[in-house]
Structure 1
Amino acid sequence: MLRKDLLFDNGGGSKHRLDFKKIRDIDKLLLISTIVLILFGILNIYLCTKGDYGFLYAKKQFIWMIISLVALYIFISIDYRVFYNYVPVFYWASIVLLLITRFAGTVVNGARGWLKFGPISLQPSEIAKVAMIMMLGKMLEEMDNDINNFKNLVKLSIYAGIPMIFIIIQPDMGMTMVCFFIVLGIFFVAGLDRRIFIGGFAALIVVVAIVWNVGLIQDYQKARITSFLHPEANATTTGYHLSQSLISIGSGGVVGDRPSLYNDGTSGYAAQHVPEVQTDFIFAAIAEQWGFIGVVLLLIVYGIAITRMINIARTAKDTFGSVICIGIVAYFLFAIFQNIGMTIGLMPITGITLPLISYGGSSMLSIVMTIGLVLNIGMRRKKIRF
């Protein structure tokens, strides 16, 4: 029987096109807020890099936006249940990429976490993050959501742990934390027993202590992570990022200080003094440029996107769809809290970027892919009567 949500080309091979009967059910607020966040990110990437690089970083991010929107179209065109059948392939392919990265990857900021193909750089851990969410969703559906069965929990933990082990040994503690809190969010919503949660946190403390002391994390990385406790004591060394970030955020005031918006020769304080301002510390530049009001508006847009994703998760027609939504919600909540927290001295400094805002093609692509799946799930949460 021909499915009415997919249009097939009879000439050898299949072609998927968006069904306009279903496009009417797309969550417009989620789609619009996603695009707004991406465009606002590109604007701020340009403002904080134009002094030294002109349009270079903004242009690269714009190209990745086009690629991501194409991926978004694909991911909302095909019924997400089709992806369900290929989740194991996607998952193990991402593990293979992580394995290749371990031996042939490029070192960036102390972590061997990138693969380079000419001018294109790919971060396999971003792909593994999406694959892990989808794999957990598929497994929970096959288990009828019986997460408190010991055998099921062990199996889920193994599949969640495999990509995290490869990411830990890069070492990329930021992405490891992201994956952990994604799994934590999924397990919590799936109904994991509270006693197991307590045991899990105890195990996490042990693992962190081991990783911290066996040499996987270099001394300079440890110093950077712990510098938030006493930034003033190391303002010119390990606390330099944070001290300059705080100055930038404070200078923004209520309405912001936007010299880079009006003067081609000036990029603002954050752009000139905060390292990695277009990636990890872009919030400092945003707070300087747009002030408290701009930050509040940014958080409102994030809030709209997260609320819509939670709504889709609650009304999804199956466990697979619900888990995908919860996974991306957990990612957004943790990444936003951690990224902003580290720029204002409330959280340790890690390499966690601000979703859809920070510079990074692999990150944008993976996030937009998952948002495409969430939109797909929302469009197909109820059957259409013809």
Structure 2
Amino acid sequence: MLLKRSLPKMRWKSWVKPWQQIDLPLFFLPIGVSFFGGLMILSTELKQPVTDWWWHWLVASIGVLIALFISRFRYENLLQWHWVTYALTNFSLIIVMIAGTSAKGAQRWISIAGFNVQPSEFAKVGIIITLAALLHKTTAATLPNFCRALAFTAIPWLLVFLQPDLATSLVFGAIVLGMLYWANANPGWLILLISPIIAAILFGIYWPLSEPLVFKEISFGPLGIIWSIAMGIVGWQTLPWRRFGLSGIGAFSLNMLGGELGIFAWNNILKEYQKDRLTTFLRPGQDLLGAGYHQHQSRIAIGAGETWGWGLFKGPMTQLNFVPEQHTDFIFSAVGEEFGFVGCLIVLFVFCFICFRLLHVAQTAKDNFGSLLAIGVLSMIVFQLVVNVGMTVGLAPVAGIPLPWMSYGRSAMLTNFIALGIVESVANFRQRQKYYF
């Protein structure tokens, strides 16, 4: 009798054995977020359907199966295929530029069997795998290794930027910065890496700040000059070639050049809608019926939710479709209106807990490769979370970055679950004792 009772238990243990060490909170919380996201998407489309909301749940279910499948295989196998992964990543980004489908001024999708696939989303995972493979033995503590990692990531980044997909290129940058920092790169180098971008913005801001981002002629605004001098000091302190102050002069010149390139990019590279997003962010009260309409309506919807919200399917701004693109980039505004400040805090707490579990997996991974994989996924999720929530409340420019597992988007959903499966593989095959990078 005891043997008969133990048989089902033994069978159950043998069935779950391939996943016995996965991080359960990290696995189930994104599933819960995906389910809640489906409800929010349904709420935004009750009156005027824009898409088939149930696709969100269907793709999430497929993503869960993919994550389970990936997590039962050793992540170390990715090392053997990382150059293949890198080649496929670049190849897909080239194909989309040649034969991709255009929409909203960008060519980002490939039509496969009637479905639009966005290669730049899957390229995020490709970049994470590539960088982890490059840095797991030779860290970024030396300048040659640091530059080597940047050189390999520059190619897919440039291909994404030229689509143009500025939002995803920013996510790439966040992934690279996070993984380089975890791989012991000098923080000063990371600051210098992004400093020309900041200089490009600051050189276009004049005193007074009532007319930001003019960029119509060569100008050296005081903020840009101050920033360039500060970066010169950072370069002098952190870079080699200190003799005669060459490192400081080089960093200063790089930022001055960044200001000039910013002016050139503003006039010749950036699309009009990209310019509008930047100027609207710095001047939120201007053009409320044009470029600033999305963000303005989103802030009204969130504010209307007050403390507890109107309730599911009851938010007037959401039900009457006052917020454009609410089922994708502005899904958080639906949460704010229908569940209020408390609901927003709960959603943010869940995301913070997911990020904490990702960090825990990175710290307890058995090797540098697994640790870097987890940090890459963490960097991707954190950046998308901060920018998406920030743009819905007016603290960040509208960048077209989806909220992980909540915004509607099939490619983004599958990418997030593929990344989750890789991290769960790291957790599943880690040693029980703690490991720190």
Q: TM-score higher than 0.5 here?
A: yes
Q: CA 1:211/1:367 → structure 2, altered by over 3 Å: closer, same or farther?
A: farther
How much has 1:214 moved relative to structure 2? Answer: 5.2
Whole-angstrom CA distance in 2 between matches of 1:50 and 1:112: 30
Give 1:289 shift: 1.1
Task: For residue 268 of structure 1, report the CA deviation from its aligned partner.
Answer: 3.5
The reply on whether 1:164 has 2:212 as its aligned counterpart is no
Correspondent of 1:124 among 109, 114, 119? 119
Matched residues in 1 for 2:429 and 2:374: separation?
13
Conserved 8 A contact 1:335-1:355 = yes
For the residue of structure 2 that corresponds to 1:121, the secondary structure is strand
Cα 1:296–1:319 shift into 2, 3 Å: same
Residue 328 of structure 2: which of 279, 282, 290 is its match? 279
Counterpart in the other structure of 1:32 = 28
Q: Is the 8 A contact 2:327 2:407 kept in 1?
A: yes
Q: Give the secondary structure class of the aligned counterpart of 1:233.
A: coil
Q: Deviations over 1:182-202 (max 9, x none)?
A: 111111111111331232122
Aligned pair partner of 1:85 in 80, 89, 106: 80
Alignment of 1:138 with 2:187, yes or no, is no
Contact kept? 1:130, 1:370, Cα under 8 Å = yes
Deviation at 1:334, TM superposition (A): 1.2
Partner in structure 2 of residue 252 of structure 1: 305
Is 1:352 the equivalent of 2:348? no
Match of 2:379 among 308, 311, 330: 330
SS in 2 for 1:52: coil
Q: Where do residues 294-373 of structure 1 align in structure 2 (5 Å cutoff)? A: 294-373=343-422
Residue 210 of structure 2 corresponds to residue 215 of structure 1: no
Instruction: Indicate yes or no: 2:298 matched with 1:229.
Output: no
DSSP-derived class of the 1:231 partner: coil
Pair 1:190-2:183 in alignment: yes
TM-aligned CA distance change 1:286 to 1:75, over 3 Å: same
Superposed displacement of residue 229, structure 1 = 2.2
**Equivalent position of 2:222 in the other structure:** none
Residue type of the partner of 1:373? I
**2:201 paired with 1:201:** no
In the alignment, is residue 41 of structure 1 matched against residue 37 of structure 2? yes
1:144-159 aligned within 5 A: 145=139, 147-159=140-152
Separation in 1, partners of 2:296, 2:358: 35
Does the 8 Å contact 2:329/2:388 carry over to 1? yes
Return the offset for 1:47.
0.7
Larger Cα Rg: Structure 1 or Structure 2?
Answer: 2
Match of 2:62 in 1: 67
- Label 1:284 to 1:95 Cα distance change in 2 as closer, same or farther (>3 A): same
Letter paired with 1:40: F
SS at match of 1:182: helix
1:104 is matched with which residue?
99
Contact 2:284 2:292 in 1 (8 A): yes
- Consecutive unaligned residues of structure 1, counting only runs of 5 or more, are 1-17, 262-266
Contact 1:64 1:361 in 2 (8 A): yes
Q: Secondary structure of 1:232's match?
A: coil
Paired residue type of 1:94: T
Give the Å deviation of 1:300: 1.2
Question: What amino acid does structure 1 have at the position aligned with 2:44?
Answer: C
Q: Is 1:178 aligned to residue 178 of structure 2?
A: no
1:269 aligns to 2:317 (yes or no): yes
TM-score by length of 1: 0.88
C-alpha deviation, 1:69, in angstroms: 1.4
Q: 2:337 aligned to 288, 299, 309, which one?
A: 288
Contact 2:142–2:185 under 8 Å retained in 1: no
* Inter-partner Cα distance in structure 2 for 1:88 and 1:52: 46
Residue by residue over 1:189-222, the C-alpha shift from the partner in whole angstroms, topping out at 9 and shown as x without a partner, is: 1111133123212244429726732533212321
Which is further off, 278-287 or 75-84? 75-84
Residue pair 2:31, 2:64 contacting (<8 A) in 1 also: no
Could you say what the CA RMSD is over the residues aligned between the two structures, in angstroms?
2.0
- Residue 196 of structure 1 aligns with an amino acid whose one-letter code is W
Aligned: 1:243 with 2:243: no
Does structure 2 retain, via aligned residues, the 8 Å contact 1:48–1:268? no
User: Aligned with 2:389: secondary structure?
Assistant: helix
Letter of the aligned partner of 1:253 in structure 2? E
Contact residue 76 and residue 375 of structure 1 kept, 8 A: yes
Aligned partners of 2:299 and 2:393 also within 8 Å: yes
Structure 2: unaligned runs, 5 residues or longer: 1-13, 199-257
Report the counterpart of residue 8 of structure 1 in structure 2: none
Deviation at 1:269, TM superposition (A): 0.7
Decide whether the 8 Å contact of 2:120 with 2:160 is kept in 1.
Answer: yes
Normalised TM-score (structure 2): 0.78
Q: Distance in 1 between matches of 2:52 and 2:335?
A: 16
Superposition deviation, residue 22 in structure 1: 4.5
SS in 1 for 2:26: helix
CA distance in 2, matches of 1:225, 1:110: 17
- Give the share of equivalent positions with the same residue, in percent: 31
C-alpha separation in 1, matches of 2:264 and 2:389: 25
Counterpart code for 1:336: L
State the 1:228 CA deviation. Answer: 2.0
- Deviations for 1:211-239, whole angstroms, at most 9, x for unmatched residues? 73253321232112321222222111111
